[in-house]
Amino acid sequence: MLKQSFPAVTGKSGLSFTKKEGDGATPAGIYPIGNMFGTAAKPPGVKSKYTVSHKNHYWIDDVTSPDYNKWVYYNRNPNKKWKSFERLKHVIYKHAIIIRYNENPIIQNKGSAIFIHLWRNSSTPTAGCLALSEANLKTVMKWIDPAKTPKIIIGTPDSIKKEINEYNK
């Protein structure tokens, strides 16, 4: 287990054990790490599947849509299909790691589009994701080995201890 930490920013509403769509909170808990993506090329040394995102890639956060909390390729006007979505061609998504939150099963309104992405700066919160500096994000991306089924633990020191104990039962 790697024992290194990096400064990060969380959602503007802090951490939440009862995450809801649009609440601005980062979901606390233990979650699998998914694939990676970005508007830039895959960094050297990254082992995970990586998709270069472009203008037709969206992550859907419209709670009324059957596409809710899914990555979608769509080459028409997204405003005519969904009430809400994330454009994956965005400066903060130069590089990003998908946190596999709320996906098995997907529960409407529980929260969507949770990633580790670039921060705007060390004091500006996200809309509910985790964010790191570019150098630290690339380091984390290189650490992740999908063959080892990596997970992320998000929480306070006390809640992390509790999550680990529950996970190990």
Beta-bridge mates of residue 38: 52
- Rg, C-alpha atoms of the chain: 16
Output the six-digit token pair for 3.
């024992």
Alpha-carbon distances, residue 71 vs 17, 61, 85, 100 (angstroms): 24, 10, 10, 12
Q: Which of 57, 90, 95, 117 is catalytic?
A: 117
Beta strands in the chain (DSSP E): 15-16, 26-27, 29-38, 50-52, 57-60, 71-73, 85-87, 96-99, 115-118, 130-132, 151-154
Does the annotation count 57 as an active-site position?
no
Q: Map tokens 């380091």 to a residue.
A: 139
Q: Which of 54, 57, 95, 129 is catalytic?
A: 129
Does the annotation count 54 as an active-site position?
no
Q: Are 26 and 16 in contact (CB under 8 A)?
A: yes
Which is it for strands 71-73 and 85-87: parallel, antiparallel or unpaired?
Answer: unpaired
Give catalytic residues, as residue numbers: 117, 129
